[in-house]
Amino acid sequence: MKVEITALITNKAVTPIRLVNGTTLLMLNGYTFWYAGASKNHQRWICSSYKKNCRVYIQINDRMQLVKITSYQHSHDRPSYGITSNGLYYKQR
Ligand SMILES: [Zn+2]
């Protein structure tokens, strides 16, 4: 489930973040998304709170640009993350 992200997203403010455990997530409007697979042209990323029955997902193209977001509302508040001195994210409770 690990993805290497080297390109920065230049529109729609989709931002890759790296967790302390090495996992890469995408952040959009303060919500985070897990990599959930790729089709020919797009990658699909699902809300990191999908286990709380959140159905929001996004699709990005091979240039890391947001091409689709569901119209569902998140079923939860924005997750709270801290950042280590070397720029890694960790979830706060
Ligand atoms: Zn969500």
Give per-residue pLDDT as tens, 46-77.
Answer: 999 998 899 999 999 887 888 888 888 899 99
Q: Do residues 49 and 16 make contact, with C-beta atoms less than 8 angstroms apart?
A: no
Q: What is the pLDDT of residue 10?
A: 43
Q: What is the pLDDT of residue 5?
A: 45
Q: How far is the CA of 87 from the centre of ligand 1 (A)?
A: 23
Q: How far is the CA of 41 from the centre of ligand 1 (A)?
A: 24
Neighbours of ion ligand 1 (CB under 5 A): 47, 49, 54, 56, 74
The class that CATH gives domain 1-76 is mainly beta
Which long-range CB contacts under 8 A does 20-29 form with residues at least 24 apart? Answer: 20/84, 20/88, 20/89, 20/90, 25/89, 26/58, 26/60, 28/58, 28/66, 28/69, 29/78
Mean pLDDT of 17-24: 96
76: Cβ–Cβ under 8 A, 6 or more apart, which residues? 49, 52, 54
Q: Does the pLDDT at position 8 exceed 50?
A: no
